[in-house]
Structures are given as structure tokens and as C-alpha cells.
Chains A and B, each alone.
Chain A
Amino acid sequence: MELFATAGPALLDALALIAQPQQFAFLVLGVLLGLSVGVFPGLGGIAGLSLVLPFIFGMDPVAGLALMVGLIAVVPTSDTFASVLLGIPGSTASQATVLDGFPLAKKGEAGRALSAAFVSSLFGGLLGAMVLTAFILVARPLILAFDIPAMLAITLLGLSMVAILAGRIPLKGVVAAGMGLLLGTVGLGGAGGSPRMSTYDMPYLLDGFSLVIVGLGIFAIPEIVALLRQDRAISKSGDLGRGWLDGLRDWWRNIWLSVKCSAIGVMVGVIPGLGGSVVDWIAYGFTVQSAKDKSQFGKGDIRGVIGPESSNNAKEGGGLVPTLIFGIPGSGSMAVFLGGLALLGYDPGPHMVRNNLDITYTIVWSLALANVVGAGLCIFLANPIARLTTIRFTLIAPFLFMVIAFAAFQSRQSLGDLAALMAVGMIGIFLRRFEFSRPAFLIGFVLSAQAEAFANQVYQIAGSRLRRGGMEGMLDYVASPLVLAILALTVLSIWIGIKQGKQVLGNDTPPTGTKRAPVAFMLAITAYVAVTVWDASTIRYTGDKVFPLTVGIATLIGCVVLLARMRVAPEGHALFADNEQGGEDAEAPHGLWSTLGWFAALLAMSALFGFVIALAIFLVAFFRLRAQVSWARTLVLSAAGIALICVLAGTLGRDFPPGLLQEVVDLPWPFT
């Protein structure tokens, strides 16, 4: 344990390095950059890091580190703005925050939700750094204990969160999750490269759908459209009720929840290969499961914000462990970070902890410090920015359409991105309308690829163990104590979910109309799932076939049972929940399709004239015709929007979607 003897001095060295004013200045610069990029939904740490990467080479190593770490640290903090204020998951780290954060904003408590989220982030980040300081010395054997069966078990634990988030009719949640899993299999199979629900004639589909597009489509588009139909501010009362001090108090009251969720964040974060995508859902599920009164979750329970936000910053710290001591990035942004480290002359790997312990600690504690600076700044900004929720939403929506279309386009830089966004957005709208759990759908999608890969790998390795070591050898592998413990947690989580999940969406009755619309949607889902099953059955490569086939058949059974229940159930049954038949949506002054039509028009015009020209037409038309503001304001707002998007694309070095026009004529940037 000579390592511990060197840990103290290394820690002091690290703190001395960070405390230098120059390093601190770079850290703050990184934080500010991260904040500016992170507030735009869909543009996360990767976009920000790529922005600074050209300057990293040749920089003083500690300053370069501070810059990069500052940037990484605040992205899961700043993306909370979009999640809470607009219902748009800013990045994978804050998907679960949307569930309760956005309803709070609608209640006029955006300031409270934001400050609770930020102080949770801050705390999670600090706790994460403290745990890491000790843990990084002994992490290696512990991390190596997580073999593929254990990772599969954790993936299943993540999927088990569907149970508590399934909504009023659990089977509908299961079907939603099944659809998410199936959507995640679209494209070339990970193992054998067989096309699934796609062909070489449509190259876009071969790569599958990106998480950014699915996240924006499932959450952002339905919410933006629903709000836009109301023609009022996000905050129903039109002003801000409780402010940021209440949020801090809420956090303090739930400090233990925050501690526990931070611990979850660190633990899941350190396991390489899992990525951070499950963490916030596990934390959210845990928060709901462990709460006594579950009636307010999904409607604006502050604990639903504190839980996931405590975990997502702690996760970033945890994610550093595999990145630094194995040289294996835990996420996309960590991969870019690794590249940046190499440019500074550091070479992460097993020796990093042994030989460069001071640098390792510098990274860990820069992350903590950046969290404090970033979250502190955000708390300070929470109330002013929360004012956004008191502005008439019709004036905000076109800018949101602009930003999400731009963000979606960054995933593949093809018009297919815009079409995919629209298609997934439609699915999201219907899931919302007929009360299928959107979180369940997203959890399924997020975990699909890794569930399939791990399951295939475990199957193959276990088979080999069986041949070499007999039954005993195989059981030692697939049923190790660690795996059994995680599986026991999974079973517990499902049990709690089934028992108490119904409370999450409350016990009130949903609006229902005739059976026709819900049954038609159900039939459409069933048909799609049936086609998927047929498509999977035609695949020759077994490794690419089994997963979509199994999930497809299970989902199909769920669909058929639902249809059978729909046949016997009376018209007013919750099975036929249809939000167009009552409540907010039904009373909205604007129709669903005409509102969605505006967004569709923006995308269609982009395909014709390219994004910037389409945007100009869209903004002017929208402000004049839909928002009916004066010509002067129309022009000012439109110009501001176009300027914003040009500055954003210019600094990030991103292109705009080109249209047919650009095929014919060469236009200068930004019209290209």
C-alpha cells in the first residue's frame, strides 16, 4: 500500500497546481464555454471539446487540462436549463430530469427546480471527487470484477426501471419499452453487420437512429407542439412562484436522497462499457421507489429533479476512472478528452495512476472545482433565466424549432436527420396522446445496443466455458455472486415497480373518447412490430437475429394482449386514454396538425432551399401569421434568430442542411 503513502503529497501537489491563478482562469474559461454550448439542447460536451481541441496542442499541460475539464464538468449542469425550462432533454445526462423538472416549470416553479437541480449537481460533483480520490488507488481490481455478465445484469437493472415508469397500464409501458428496444436495433447489426429494418438502398437507416434525434423527437417535439397550441407562457400562472431559495431548501431537506443518488452515479459511472446513459434513469427509478408519497412524480415532484441531477455530475467523475486508468473512454466526450490528453503529452493507462498521480488528482479536483464554479454560476442565473417561462411561448417556439433542427442535423449531416427527427417526433406525439410511457420507450432505446451486445457475448463465452469447464465452469462465469446480487436488485426493482408504479401517474382517470383512435394506433404499433419480427426472421446471421426476434415476439405478445383487452373493455376504460379528448390538449385554441405543420414546413423548405433560407422564410411567416406580432418585431426577432444560429454554427464549425437549391447553385456560407 505504498500508493497511499504517495497519495497525500500528490494530492497537495495537485491542489497547488489547481490553485494557481492562471490555471484557475483557464478553468473558468472552460466552464463559461461549456455553459454556452451546453445550454443548447443536443450539443453536448463533444461539440464543446471539439471547439477547444485545436488550441490544446502546445498549451501548458495543466492549463490545457483545466480548460478541458472545466468544459466537461459543466455540460451535465448547463443542459438542465433546457430540460427544466423547455422539457427538452439537453443531453443524455438530463433525460430523467425532464420528467419532473418541466412540470415544475409549468407550475411557475422553474427557479426552484433549477436551483435544486444545480445544488444537487454541485453536491454530486463534490462527493464524486471525494470518493474518487480514495477509490482511484484501488479501483483497478474492483473494476475488473465487472465482467460482461455483470454488465448485462446492470443493463437489465436499468431496463427494470421501466416497471416504475410504465404508467397507468403497465402493459402499455412494456410495449413502449419493447418498441424502444426495437427502434434501437434498426440498422446494421453490431455483431454480423446484417441490415435490420433497413436496406442498402436507404443508406441513412443502416447507421440506425442517433440518441440525440430520438431524445429530441420523443420528448422535445411533443412538448413544444403541445405548449405552442396553448398560446401562453410555459408557466401557467404567467409568473414565477417559488424561487431559487426554495430550491436550496428542498435540496437540504432531501440531502440523503442526494447522497444516495450521487453514490449511484459514481458506482455506475466507473464501470467501463456502460456509458453514462443509464445512470440518471437508475437514479430516478431509485428516487421514486424509495419515496413514500409517489403521487406527485411526473407532475412536478422536486425529488424527481434532485435524484437524477445528483447522480449525473457524480457520474462524470466516475467516468474518469476507466478513462484514466484503462485508457478506455466511458462516453463520447471522454473519448475526445482522451484525445486532448494525448495532445498535451499525457498517455492515460495503467501507469497514469502510478506515475502521474498528481496529474490524475489534478484532473479529479479540477472537475470538482469546475462543478462548484459552474453550478454556482448557474444557481446565480437560475432566477433570471427562469423568466423565460413567463414569456409568451409562441415567441420562443420558433427558436426552439430552429435549434433542435440544427442539433439533429449534426448527428449525420444529412437531410435524413431532419426526416428522422420528424418521424420520431410523430411517434412521440402519439405516445404522449395515447399515454404510452415515453420514458419507458427511451430507456428501451438507450439500452438496446448494449443489451444485445452483452447478451450475445455472454452467450458465446458461456458456451465456450461449458465446453471447457463443464456446467460448473459455466455457472461460475454467468452466476457469479456479483451477478446474482445485481439480479436480485433487478427483481426487487421490478417488484416495487409493479406494486407501486401505478401511483406514479396518479390515480385520477384519464380523458377518453371513442375506441377508434386508440385502437387504430394500437393496430399500427402491432403491424410495425409484426413487420420487425418478420424482418428479423429473415436474417441469416444468428448473432444479429436473436435479439430483435426475441424482443419483437415479446412485444408482439404484449400488443396482442392489449388489443384483446381493448376489445372487451368498455369505452371509458383507461386503456383508451386519449389526451385529445379532454384536459389541456383538447381545449387548446390551436390544432395539433396545424401546429406540427409549421415545423414540418421548416424541414420541407430546408430540403428545398437549404436551412438558412428556409429559416428566414419560416421565422418571418411564423411571427407574422401565427404569433401575429408587428412587422417591426417580426423582422427584429427573425434577424436575431438567424444571427444566433449563424454565430453558433460559425464558432462550432458546423454546416447547415443544404437543399435542392444548393445542388444547382453554389452559394456562399451560410447559405451553402
Chain B
Amino acid sequence: MILKTTRRVAGAAAILAATTALSGAAFADAHGGVDLSGQTVEYVIPFSESGGSARWANFFAPLLSEHLPGNPTVVVRYRPGAGSTSGANWFQEQDTADGTLIFGTSGSTQFPYLLGDPRVRYEYNDWQVVLVSGTGGVAYLPADMAAMMDGLDATGLQGQEFIWGAQSATGLDLVPNLAWEMLGLDVQPVFGIEGRGDGRLMFERGEANIDYQTSSAYIRSVQPMVDSGMAVPMMSWGALDDDGNIVRDPTFPDIPTFAEVCEATPACETEGEAWDAWVTFFTAGFPAQKMIFLPGNAPQEVVDAYTTALREIIARDDFMELAAAELGVYPQMTGNAAQAAFRLGTRVDAETRAFVINWLEESYGVSLN
């Protein structure tokens, strides 16, 4: 078993190296002789039918079917369990190399991997990434609280007691929790809500007085509250530019980023281990949130066929319109860009990991085993 994995890691590393070297030239030959006609592509996600990942997968499945060579049937399969780690562990064992198996992960799959959760028996570096889909998030406050901020400086909020509805300490909500703590705010997360929608309802009912939503939910459900004066945007998490710097979110160009607010708030620093930890988990949770993988042993022409198909999909005239409701207006990355985002979103320094684990333990009494 160990031998097998090691061999696979080695193989994957070689292929990965080849991918990076070849990816420039390989796209000239559109489909590289790969033909999936009459085949069924299983698009497996480690989540149940009802989550956001299911919506994302069902959005791409018919498009892939249209654009892959030979127009295979693409079906979405669900393997939920253990916060997506059981599905990812399953995919680690697969060696279907002919392109009839792809796997979609999300931030919930990356976080346990980054944190060293004992349930994780998968290795992202064994897989080959073909698509990275990002999203963003916006934090918002009730109007009276927002008035206490001095421009971008959040110092005025420091004496207040905040409550917000959070899902779990170790999931995506880690990112806002850490951000607020870095700003010196006293935010008490009420853990155990079912989804971010429930957190928004708590805010609307006045039970919570700070919250964040991912981009599409913000536009859909928070913007009306902002328009009516009930809520005021505080900051966005930002987006990554091509060089990996945090810049204003293209969907919300008028909302300052956390980096700007942190800069302006004396208590907060945009360097040091807390900042590094925030950037690592922000990247995994937002700009590199959802990815599609092929197994490590899939040959280069299969990887290229997928990359080409996904590029065609993203280049469709109607893609923006189709994607607006589902995915927001974020870059869908393929090829080298996907590689870069993948690396940023799945890599963590030992010190950063230790810092976060310690912080989770001290702030919330949550331990990972």
C-alpha cells in the first residue's frame, strides 16, 4: 500500500513536471487524438446533492458534455461523507486514466488537508488540476455599527460585542473569524448553523450583528438590505491578481478589501504569521475554492483535451450570462493559471499550520483530533 502510493506520488510528480513544461506547446493540437464518444464521464464530487458544489458541478457537466471530444455523456456522482474527506480519500485510490473520471473539490476539501486533519488520506499533489473556479466574499455590518468605523479604520468597533452565525471553526468561516480577530474585534461566532443563508437570516432578524456572504449570495440577498439602509458593506476579502497579490474584488470594485482595512487599522498588520495564515486560508477558501482534477496517471493528451474543452466553455459568448447566477463574475482558470492557483491554494508552511491549529485551540477550544 505504502509502496503503491509512493510510486504514484513519483509518477504524479513526473507528470506534473511534464504538464508544466508542455502546457504551452500542447494546446496547438486541439484534442490530441482523445475521443470520448459513446463513453460516460463520471464527474464525482465529495458532497451531497444539495450543496453549492453540486450546483457548480451540475453547471459544468452539460457544458463539458458539449465541448469534450466525442461529446460523452457527463454524469455527476455524489460521494458525500466526513466533510468531503471520504470522497477525496476514495478518489486517491482511483486510477481511471482515460478521462472518464474527474473529481471536483472545494474549500471544504482543502481546509482539512491544509490543517492536517487525521481523516485526510489524500494528496493533492498526486492529482492533475484542469480547472480552478474562484469566488469572493463580502463582510457587512448593521448601519449603526458601520458608522463607528473611521473611514477604513476599524478601531472604533473594538469595544463592541459582535455575534455572527458560523458553520464550523475549521471550515471556510475560519477566514472571517481570523480577519475579525486580527482587526481586534470581539466577535463571538455562534457555531452550528446549517449554511451561510441561515447566518444571513440571523443578521436580518437582529440576532447577529456582523456577517459575510459569498459573492452571488451577497448580490442576491444582501444588496437589497444595503439599498434599504439595513446593512452596510464593511470589506471584501479581495481577489488575487496574476502575480498572487490581493487586489480589489472585480465584482465589488467600490468595496475596500480586508487588506486595506487592516492597513488602516493600527491593531492589524499585513505581515507576520497571522497575515500569512489568513492569506493561505483565504486563497484556499475563495480564489481557489473549487477545482476539477484528473487522476495522477491520466496521460497528457487527456489533460489537454480537458483543458481545451474548458477553455472553449469559458470562451463561449453566453458563458458570462450563464455563469452569472451560478458562479459570479470570477476568472475560471485553466492551464498555467490553474496550476498557479492550485499551488497557492493547496500549500501551507509548517509554521502557518501550527499557528492556525494553536489559534483554533486557544480561541474556540477546537482541536482537530
Contact = CB atoms under 8 A, between A and B. Distances in A.
Partners in one complex: yes
Interface of A: 46, 49-50, 53-54, 57-58, 144, 147-148, 190-193, 200, 203, 206-207, 272-273, 326-329, 332-333, 335-336, 338-339, 342-343, 345-347, 349-351, 412-414, 452-453, 456-457, 460-461, 464, 467-468, 477, 540-543, 653
Nearest to A467: B161
11 contacts: A50-B76, A192-B168, A193-B169, A326-B221, A336-B49, A339-B58, A342-B325, A343-B58, A347-B220, A456-B190, A543-B192
Contacts of B168: 190-193
B55 A339 contact: yes
Contacts of B54: 336, 339
Given A326-B221, A345-B325, A191 B192 contact: yes
Contacts of A540: 365, 367
Contacts of A343: 55, 58-59, 326
Nearest to A455: B192
Contact of B76 (A54, A144, A273, A477): A54
B120 to A, nearest CB: 11
Given A206-B119, A326-B221, A460 B367 contact: no
A335 B207 contact: no
B349 interface: no
Given A54-B62, A332-B48, A335-B49, A203 B86 contact: yes
Interface stretch (B24-32, B100-108, B148-156, B195-203): B195-203
B188 A147 contact: no
Nearest to B54: A339
A57 B79 contact: no
A482 to B, nearest CB: 12
Interface in B203-221: 204-205, 207, 217, 220-221
Given A147-B205, A148-B207, A200-B369, A457 B193 contact: yes
B364 A192 contact: yes
Q: Which of A53, A200, A338, A351 is the most central at the interface, judged by chain B CB atoms within 10 Å of its CB?
A: A53
A470 B148 CA distance: 23
Given A148-B202, A540-B367, A453 B325 contact: no
Contact of B75 (A203, A327, A467, A653): A653
Contacts of A413: 79, 81
B58 A328 contact: no
Contacts of A346: 325
B49 A461 contact: no
A351 B224 contact: yes
A146 B240 CA distance: 40
Nearest to A449: B192
B313 interface: no
B230 to A, nearest CB: 11
A464 B367 CA distance: 25
Contact of B190 (A50, A342, A350, A461): A461
A49 B191 contact: no
A192 B55 contact: no
Given A272-B198, A343-B58, 16 more contacts: A46-B49, A54-B62, A54-B76, A193-B366, A200-B369, A339-B55, A342-B59, A350-B221, A351-B224, A412-B80, A456-B192, A457-B165, A464-B163, A468-B161, A477-B207, A542-B365
B50 A335 contact: yes
B62 A464 contact: no
A58 B191 contact: no
A57 B323 CA distance: 12
B61 interface: yes
A338 B325 CA distance: 12
Contact of B221 (A46, A207, A338, A349): A349
A339 B170 CA distance: 26
A479 to B, nearest CB: 15
Interface in B315-369: 325-326, 364-369
Nearest to A477: B207
Contacts of B75: 54, 653
Contacts of B163: 460-461, 464
B8 interface: no
Contact of A350 (B76, B118, B195, B224): B224
A193 B119 CA distance: 13
A342 B326 contact: yes
Contacts of B220: 327, 347, 349-351
A226 B369 CA distance: 43
B123 interface: no
B8 to A, nearest CB: 17
A332 B365 contact: no
Contacts of B201: 144, 272-273, 326, 328
A467 B163 CA distance: 12
Contacts of A46: 48-50
Contacts of B161: 464, 467-468
B194 A273 contact: yes
B77 interface: yes
B295 to A, nearest CB: 15
Contacts of A192: 168-169, 191, 364-366
Contacts of B21: none
B335 to A, nearest CB: 25
A277 B204 CA distance: 25
Contact of A329 (B50, B59, B76, B202): B50
Contacts of B205: 144, 147
Interface string B158-191: 0001010100111000000000000000001011
A204 B25 CA distance: 46
A543 B191 contact: yes
Contacts of B51: 335
Contacts of A452: 192
A190 B217 contact: no
B10 interface: no
Given A207-B82, A342-B55, A457 B192 contact: yes
Contacts of B82: 203, 206-207
B190 A200 contact: no
Nearest to B322: A345
A190 B195 CA distance: 12
A660 to B, nearest CB: 15
Contact of B119 (A203, A272, A339): A203
B275 interface: no
B122 interface: no
Nearest to B194: A273
A67 B80 CA distance: 26
A467 B74 CA distance: 55
A332 B49 contact: yes
A50 B77 CA distance: 9
Instruction: Report the 3 A-B pairs with minimum CB-CB distance, sorted nearest first.
Output: A335-B50, A328-B197, A191-B191
Contacts of B217: 327
A14 B369 CA distance: 54
A571 to B, nearest CB: 47
B49 A326 contact: no
Contacts of B58: 53-54, 57, 339, 343
A206 B367 CA distance: 15
B78 interface: yes
Contact of B197 (A57, A207, A326): A326
Contacts of A193: 168-170, 366, 368
A452 B191 CA distance: 11
A144 B204 contact: yes
A207 B86 CA distance: 10
Contacts of A53: 58, 76
B60 to A, nearest CB: 10
B118 A54 contact: no
Nearest to A192: B366
B33 to A, nearest CB: 25
Contacts of A200: 118-119, 369
Nearest to B167: A190
Contact of A190 (B192, B198, B325, B366): B192
Given A53-B76, A144-B204, A147-B205, A460 B365 contact: no
Q: Which of B74, B202, B366, B369 is the most central at the interface, judged by chain A CB atoms within 10 Å of its CB?
A: B366
